[in-house]
Each structure stands twice: as C-alpha cells, then as structure tokens.
Structure 1
Amino acid sequence: MQNDLEKIEESRDVLISSIAQTMVIYGVTPSVGRIYGVLYFSKKSMSLDEIKDAVAMSKGSVSTGLRELLDTEMIIKVWKKGDRKDHYIAERDFVKNFISFFVKNIRLERNIIMKANDKVKPLLEDVAHNTESEEAKEEALHDLKLMNDTLIYFDWTKRIIDAMESGELFKYFPIEGEKK
C-alpha cells in the first residue's frame, strides 16, 4: 500500500513533467523544465549537486540549464550561510516568469529586425531615389514600405511590453484571485 508521502512524490513527478512539457512551447528544453520544476516544488534552496541528483542529469547539463533559467529570471541564485556552493530557488510567480520571458523575446526580435532595417534602409533608399530602372525603383519602394510596416508592429509590441512592465496591463486584464 502506497503511503501518503509516496502519493505526494508521485503527484509532484506528474506536475514537474507537465511543467517540463509546457516549457517546450516557449523554446525551453524538457530537461531545463525539469530543473525548474524541481526547484519550484522545493521548500529550500538547492545546490547544483542536489539538483543534479534530483533530476538525474549530468553536472554539466544541470549547470547549463541553471544558466538558462538565470538568464530568463525563472530562478534566482542565493547565498546560503555556511556553504560555499551556489544555491538556487525558483521564481514561483508564473505571471512574472511569463512577462520576463515575453519581454526578453520581443526585445530580441525587435533588435534583430531593427539592425537589419538600419543596415538595408540606406541601400534601398539609394536605389529608390537614384536608379534609372523603374523596376528596381518599384522593388525598393515596395521593400521600404514593408520595412515601415514592421515599425508599426514594433511600436505596438513596445507599448505592450511597456504596459506589462509598468503593470498597466493589469488594469485591463486583472489576475483573478489577486489581492485587491
């Protein structure tokens, strides 16, 4: 007969697996999701070795996963008195995790496209204004219009991430169950 603590452990395994599976949607590997899940359910901070044992992964893989989770601010490195090893705790606020992840990726997308736009815009403008080829002029103007349309999109996404970071978003989409 299964005792109550075993039932809890089995339940946590199921929940940790579901967290790992859903993190794939956001581009995070299942193994990194398991690391997060273990930290999420842990009542205390954990060292790299403790995490390694809990997820049955190599120390190198756990270390890489921890760096990824630190970069996305889903975990926090903490100091533990009397121990020289780094310890980690999970950020348990899923809304905060979502906002951090979303904002980081929108900014990354924006930076990549804006750098490309900055690089090619002068070239396209030169062709549009100085070419003798009507076809080349039309193509350059077409591409410049498409680039301008991306600026409209990036302005919109910037306003969304600003509203997320400032909390203004929650005026329109409050979190149910949140203390008023």
Structure 2
Amino acid sequence: MKKSEDMKKVEEARDVMVSALAQTMVIYGVTPSVGRIYGVLYFAEEPMSLDDIKEEVAMSKASVSNGMRELLETEMVIKVWKKGDRKDHFIAEKDFMRNFINFFVKNLRQERSLIMKANEQAKPILKEIAENSSGEASQVAKRDLESLNNSLAYFDWTMRLANALESNEIFNYIPKTEKK
C-alpha cells in the first residue's frame, strides 16, 4: 500500500514539472500543449508512440501529431525504432542546453532569412528613388537605405553567435557548469 502512495506522489511531482515545462515553453513561443507533450516524453521511461502520448496528455491524435512535428523540427524529440512494433516511437532530448541551442539557432537563422529576403526586395526600390528622385521621397529613401545597411551588422553578429552556439565555441567564453 505504501508503495502505491509513494508512486502517486512521484506522479504528482512529475505533473508539477510537466506543467512548468509547458509554461516555460510559452516564453519561447511554443504552445503549452506542445510543452506538455515534451514533458511527458521527458519523464517517460521508454519510447512512446503517438497513441501512448495521446492518452497521457488527453489531446486528439491530430494535435499530438502536429505537436510532435514541431518538436521533431527543433530536435527536442527523436524518433526511434522499437523492435516488434511498426508504429513510430519517440524519446525526448533531455539536454536542455542542446534544446536551447537548437531552438535559438533555428530562430536566428529564420529571422535572418526573412529580413534578408525583404532587404533584397526593398533595397533596389529605395536605391532607385534615392538616386533618381528629389525632395522628401529621396531623403526618406536614403535614410531607409542607411537603416537597412546598419541592420546588416546585427545579422552578421547573430550568425556568428549561431555558429558559435552550434560549434560549442560559445562555451570557451561562457563555460557550462558542472552538475551538482
């Protein structure tokens, strides 16, 4: 009898942690439901199928599948093969540092890509107006071109940061702390 009460307490403690993981993922723009899926996998003792996860998080299979796709894209979960079962199974990447780096670098690269594409579209138009117009339009176009050119330093820095994170070079400057 005592053991089942202790297991109940363990499950309650896990629920607290899963809820906290779900809430913190919101900070990074991830929905709480995706955070709950990750939390369940984080504490799972063996790989879980979509059906297993669906039961644990009380969500539809479609919602779980969409959440898993998001977690796979950021490499927070890994698809694994389970002998004797044709279903896909998943485990959580438990290294929070690795999760952060993967997520952060992906977002930095996406931000740069979006802005650089817009920059490529806007720059020729602004350059044309700055060089061939007069008056207010020319002055505004010149200021906007200067702003676009100034932003390039930021994107250069963010790509160097992303590269330092991916290569682990960042830890030469900000070392990881040892587990206690």
Q: TM-score, normalised by structure 2?
A: 0.95
User: Which amino acid in structure 2 is aligned with residue 148 of structure 1?
Assistant: N
Secondary structure of the corresponding residue to residue 94 of structure 2: coil
Say whether 1:175 aligns with 2:137.
Answer: no
User: Which amino acid in structure 2 is aligned with residue 169 of structure 1?
Assistant: I
| Paired residue total | 177
Secondary structure of the corresponding residue to residue 88 of structure 1: strand
**Mapping for residues 143-154 of structure 1, pairs under 5 Å:** 143-154=144-155
Equivalent residue for 1:35? Answer: 37
The one-character-per-residue Cα deviations of 1:64-117 (angstroms, maximum 9, x if unpaired) are 111111111100111111100000000000000000000011111111110000
The one-character-per-residue Cα deviations of 1:29-67 (angstroms, maximum 9, x if unpaired) are 111100000000011100010001111111111111111
User: Which amino acid in structure 2 is aligned with residue 145 of structure 1?
Assistant: E
Equivalent residue for 1:166? Answer: 167
Secondary structure of the corresponding residue to residue 175 of structure 1: coil
Q: For 1:9 and 1:135, how far apart are their aligned partners in 2?
A: 66
1:8 positional shift: 0.5
Secondary structure of the corresponding residue to residue 89 of structure 1: strand
1:134 positional shift: 2.5
User: Which amino acid in structure 1 is aligned with residue 78 of structure 2?
Assistant: I
User: Which amino acid in structure 1 is aligned with residue 72 of structure 2?
Assistant: L
Q: For 1:153 and 1:161, how far apart are their aligned partners in 2?
A: 12
Q: For 2:135 and 2:58, how far apart are their aligned partners in 1?
A: 64
Equivalent residue for 1:65? Answer: 67
Moved runs in structure 1, 4+ residues, more than 3 A? Answer: none
Secondary structure of the corresponding residue to residue 76 of structure 1: strand
Equivalent residue for 2:138? Answer: 137
Q: For 1:136 and 1:65, how far apart are their aligned partners in 2?
A: 47
Q: Which runs of 5+ in 1 are unaligned?
A: none
Secondary structure of the corresponding residue to residue 3 of structure 1: helix
Q: TM-score, normalised by structure 1?
A: 0.95
Q: For 2:152 and 2:22, how far apart are their aligned partners in 1?
A: 35
**Mapping for residues 120-131 of structure 1, pairs under 5 Å:** 120-131=122-133
Identity of aligned residues (%): 63
Q: For 1:42 and 1:135, how far apart are their aligned partners in 2?
A: 63
User: Which amino acid in structure 2 is aligned with residue 78 of structure 1?
Assistant: V
Q: Which runs of 5+ in 2 are unaligned?
A: none
**Mapping for residues 10-159 of structure 1, pairs under 5 Å:** 10-131=12-133, 133-159=134-160
1:130 positional shift: 1.2
Across the aligned residues of Structure 1 and Structure 2, the Cα RMSD in angstroms comes to 1.1
